[in-house]
Amino acid sequence: MASIRYTKDHEYIRIDGDIGTVGISDYAQQQLGDVVFVELPESGKKVAAGDQAAVVESVKAASEVYSPVGGEVTEINSALEGEPAKVNSDPAGDGWFFKIRIGDAKQLDALMDEKAYAEFLKTLG
């Protein structure tokens, strides 16, 4: 079973071997409101942990999506280009943004697991 880690910026990475699927958390999509546009990275792009990798625009605001770990983008969710609302309806499923080949698995240690992320959300009030 894949494990999931979270950043303080509300990105998640679902880890399956050396590939991570990146998206934004349910909390993040709720804060954004209705998503109307998603700009995805190019497949093959190399990113470092914390680099801007994508942009999500809603009726309220535009926000950057940062890569939780460094590596190479292996796949993008091109379905979001035509249906950006998938980010709202299924952020942890069909609303993922991109997949990344994880360059250094040790970077995952700096991210929160589901329990720690739930505790972090409680501090946001």
The count of residues in the chain is 125
Q: What's residue 1's pLDDT?
A: 52
Per residue in 27-48, pLDDT (tens digit) is: 999 999 999 999 999 999 999 9
Residue ranges of domains in the chain, CATH in brackets: 3-104 (2.40.50.100)
Q: Give the pair of three-digit tokens for residue 47.
A: 């990113």
Cα–Cα distance, 65 to 119 (Å, whole number): 22
DSSP H/E element including 39: strand 35-39
pLDDT of 2:
65
pLDDT (0 to 100) of residue 4: 97
Structure tokens at 33: 């409101």
Under-70 pLDDT residues of the chain: 1-2
With 0.85 as the threshold, say if the pTM is over it. Answer: yes
Q: Tokens 């009030």 map to which residue?
A: 125
- 35 token code pair: 């998503």
